[in-house]
A and B are shown apart, each in its own frame.
Chain A
Amino acid sequence: MSGFLALLSRDLRLVWRRPGDVAVVLAFFIVATVLFPLGIGPAANILARIAAGVLWCTALFASMLSLDRLFAADYEDGSLDLLLLAPWPLELAALAKCAAHWIVTGLPLAVLAPLLGVTFGLPPGALVALAATLLVGTPTLSLIGGLAAALTLGARRGGALLALLALPLCVPTLIFGASAIETLMTGEDLLAHIAILAALALVALATTPWAMAAALRQAGE
């Protein structure tokens, strides 16, 4: 476990040394989201209707944007060999990398989303629901994205390939995340949607680390 925490804290420290990498991702999220109200115009009923879908999609794209460096940096400087040679399971190392990615992208996205929701004219209840769904749903995006990043390691045009691999796998999370906001209008149970998002996150947590470890070992050969 201490190896897991050591890797997590190392990756967070590396991000802290280069805050620009994270700032670009968050700036992309803000700019891409704000383009929609500007493009569609101030029709409040339309904006409130599409807000959740737009915010979830842009969060998904922003999350993908930073993933191609997740393992590539370690691959290029030789640190990946040290992770492969660490005397504890590689699955935990992959999980630590994804956890670091979630802390510096998923978490800030969930915090920023309600602020951006205001520009779509979402009611306060919907803003809270939006933050809650992103908080529960973004770990899945980091895990699935991490798997795609591990699989595309060393491939040319890895970034585009990564998105092609990861985005379809993120569809269930996107559907339940975006539709959760509508429950407030239709009177369905919001908690049920959040429970499904949590279940998807747990499935990703239980499966992706093994696949990531296998992909990383393959890349190390």
Chain B
Amino acid sequence: MAPTLLDVADLACRRGGRPVFERLSFALGAGELLALTGRNGSGKTTLLRALALLVRPEAGTIRWQGSDVQDDPETWRGRLAWLGHLDGLKGDLTVCENLLGAERLRDRPAADDRLDLALVAFDLNALAHRAVRTLSAGQRRRTALARVLLTQAPLWLLDEPLNALDAPAQQAFRSVLQNHLAGGGLAIAATHADLGVAGARTFELAG
């Protein structure tokens, strides 16, 4: 097993006064994928949001290479790529503008060559200059996934990544995810469907 990069220990979260999960622990090393499963409302999204520090955990620690991520949240956020259940795209901007804009918001230089790779990976070339509001739900999801790929962040946090994707797009996502893992990346995905990636670990939230 790869050496541990992400170490989550005794994590607990509350939503609206009700405990969502308690004493939750897992560790993840380079190249590993963790699939979060469980019923609706079992806390998959809450766990992802807690890992991104969008939700303040009630107890427990999240460590990256041994240091608590809450000590330096900005560096931690720079290590994350986020795909929420909302796509986070601006309807009035084009696919290209959305992708490049998101990279600039991450304080990284515009990257035209990487942009081309991300567009090709999700078959978005023909849509590159279309306003996002004119796209279908699946096409928007592909754009959001291209944004994740573009970040080159080591840890991907994905909430239902396969939502609205057709079979070829799901296949494209799988190969992108496998490349990310093969390059030493980590990914945590909340999902109902089988991600179809060999060697994925599954973590079931009881709820």
Contact = CB atoms under 8 A, between A and B. Distances in A.
Interface of A: 2-3, 6-7, 10, 13-14, 17-18, 76-79, 81-89, 220-221
A77 B78 CA distance: 21
Closest 3 pairs (CB-CB, A-B): A78-B86, A87-B78, A6-B104
Given A77-B88, A87-B75, A88-B107, 10 more contacts: A2-B107, A6-B104, A6-B105, A7-B105, A17-B92, A18-B92, A78-B88, A79-B90, A87-B78, A221-B55
Residue in B52, B80, B88 with the greatest tally of chain A CB atoms within 10 Å: B88
B106 interface: yes
How big is chain B's contact interface, by range?
Answer: 20 to 34
Residue in A6, A10, A85, A88 with the greatest tally of chain B CB atoms within 10 Å: A85
Contacts of B85: 78
Contacts of A85: 52, 54, 77, 80, 82
B170 to A, nearest CB: 21
B107 A86 contact: yes
A220 B86 CA distance: 13
Contacts of B92: 14, 17-18
A77 B89 contact: yes
A89 B74 contact: yes
A18 to B, nearest CB: 6
Nearest to B74: A87
A84 B88 CA distance: 12
A189 B74 CA distance: 47
Given A6-B101, A10-B101, A221-B55, A87 B90 contact: no
B contact patch SS: loop
Contact of A13 (B87, B89, B97): B97
A218 to B, nearest CB: 10
B102 interface: yes
A10 B107 contact: no
Contacts of B82: 81-82, 85
Given A14-B93, A77-B87, A77-B90, A86 B54 contact: no
Nearest to A96: B105
Nearest to A5: B104
Nearest to A87: B78
A2 to B, nearest CB: 6
Contacts of A82: 82, 88, 102, 105
B86 A86 contact: no
Interface in B36-86: 49, 52, 54-56, 74-75, 77-78, 80, 82, 84-86
B91 interface: yes
A72 to B, nearest CB: 13
A77 B86 contact: yes
Contact of B104 (A3, A76, A78, A83): A3
A78 B91 CA distance: 12
A86 B106 CA distance: 5
Contacts of B52: 85
Interface in B164-201: none
Contacts of A18: 92
